[in-house]
Amino acid sequence: MVHAPRLLLVLMLMVACNATPKAEVAPSESAAEATPMPGPCNLSDEAAACVIWRLDGFVAASAVDGVVVAAEPDGVLHGLDAATGDTVWEGGVDGEVMGIATTDGLAYVSVEEEVVAVDVADGEVRWRHPGTLVDPGRDGLPAVIAGDGVVYGVATDDGRQVWSQDAMSGFIGNAVGVDVVVLSLETMIVAVDRSTGEERWRYPSELPIFATVVTEDAVVASTASNGSEFDGYVILDADDGGLVTGRDDVSGAMVVEAEGHLVEVRFGQGARGIAGDTGEYTWDIPLGNAFFIGRRAFSLHDRALVLAADQDGTEVVAMIDPETGSQRWQIRADAQLEQVTVAGRYLALFRLGGITFHDPATGESVLAVAVPHGVVLSDEPLLVHDGDAVTRVMVP
């Protein structure tokens, strides 16, 4: 069962806000031309110029080493040649596939309450482990899997359990870094070494506390005064857990990391840069002066901050320099924006009825496709799932 504050942490990305922007921001030069509406490329058309191949009947897919691992609803797996879509092997797992992640020659297949590691080259099942995948292992680091009240470090070569630590059920509220995992235990967070599980430090709190961000220098954790509402956050030193700063006057705010910098997003109000070593604010984008951070979500791309927002009733996406708060570019469109994500070398903007792909350096559109309810499953190669089929998209 998901604890209410941890659920809220995710739902905060979709918080509605009825505030009205007060001022207009002049678009950057790269935004001089209006963002094109989805089309003319239609992913449901196998003959479309942007479609390399399209296969019906798959619910999940991911790609690595030139192989796409795709799953049918009943758990049958296919290894597909990424270039042609031809099946190179076929295998299976027990149960409904919830998702697939691939790295270092392995496909981590999430099947209900189990993670199955499959060899991408031949489809052979390497190992199984109960729980939900939090983060796949890479470069010799264990995979992180969450069970019922326990988080595990699991060796990627044979699935052996390297370490285990108590944590809140599920994985929401636990944060993973390159070499550390920060676990939430109601009124305490505990940092453990990702390779060994050895405890590095712990930070007690009088309020419920939930880890959200881990960087090389800092750990951020949100605090809640009751079961449904966050009132603030603390910034801790990543090495020893020492308190850098704490704020209890930022209800409805969330801290994210971009390009090594911390950014506080205040829903319906704006965003502020934070110095990780002191906790001091370094820049501020207030409501009305730049971007209305309200009922739209935000995302990270290529180590820079992307803010998606409403501005005077117009959908706006802006690339922000997280060090200075200055705008790199801004694009606008009339179609309702639903998601911002990364797709290969490009930024993908999901709108009602389609997706547009943009150069992250300039914001300029490079491709527009019509696909209802499309979801990007893999960045390179670019795989899109539209509810009925997996399509490999050709991006110029």
| CATH number, domain containing residue 143 | 2.40.128.630
Number of domains in the chain: 1
149 in a domain, yes or no? Answer: yes
- pLDDT digits over 205-228, tens only? 988 888 989 988 899 998 876 555
pLDDT at 37 over 50: no
For residue 281 the two structure tokens come to 């604010």
Distance CA 101, CA 346 (A): 20
pLDDT at 272 over 50: yes
Distance CA 53, CA 72 (A): 17
276 in a domain, yes or no? Answer: no
Rg of the chain over CA atoms, in angstroms? 22
The residue that leads in pLDDT, 371 or 297, is 371
For residue 255 the two structure tokens come to 């801290």
Q: Name the residue among 180, 282, 170 with its Cα closest to residue 241.
A: 180
Which one of 151-155, 176-180, 266-270 scores highest in mean pLDDT? 151-155
Other CB atoms closer than 10 Å to residue 213's CB: what's the count?
A: 21
- pLDDT digits over 225-267, tens only? 655 566 789 999 999 999 999 988 777 778 888 888 899 887 7
Other CB atoms closer than 10 Å to residue 211's CB: what's the count?
A: 26
Q: Name the residue among 299, 317, 297, 344 with its Cα closest to residue 15.
A: 297
65 in a domain, yes or no? Answer: no
Instruction: Name the 3-class secondary structure at 391.
Output: strand
Query: If you average pLDDT over every residue of the chain, what do you get?
Result: 81
pLDDT at 331: 84
295 confidence band (pLDDT: 50, 70, 90): low
83 in a domain, yes or no? Answer: no
CA distances from 331 to 177, 228, 307, 369 (A): 32, 35, 11, 17
Distance CA 194, CA 359 (A): 35
Stretch 372-380: mean pLDDT? 77
Which structural domain, as residue segments, surrounds residue 204? 131-251
Stretch 119-132: mean pLDDT? 95
369 in a domain, yes or no? Answer: no
pLDDT at 63: 93
The residue that leads in pLDDT, 300 or 122, is 122
